[in-house]
Amino acid sequence: MALEEIKQRVEELQKRYATASKKRSELQGQLDAKREELVALSQEIKNAGYDPKKLKEEKDRVEKELVSTIEACEKELSEVESALREFEKK
């Protein structure tokens, strides 16, 4: 392999390395930003009184409570409506 060819290959490798290093730095910056967002979100969840590791269970529990409350409200409303209909008949 000629000296000139070796120089060209080395220069090409240096360019590729510089490009890869630049891209790596950019991606590292994006990764760090996402990590910071995740930490902030986790803290926000904790501040709201929930455990981030048990968020699915918390959601299911709250949803179950909400459905139960809605059903109770519907039942009571039906009873009130029924009573009003009876009253209006008299």
> What pLDDT, in 10s, does the model give residues 13-42?
999 999 999 999 999 999 999 999 999 999
Q: For the purposes of burial, counting CB atoms within 10 Å of the CB of 73, is it exposed (0-12), middle (13-18) or buried (19 or more)?
A: exposed
What is the predicted pLDDT for the residue at 29? 96
**Which helix (H) or strand (E) is 81 found in, with range?**
helix 55-89
Only one residue has tokens 């209006």, namely 88
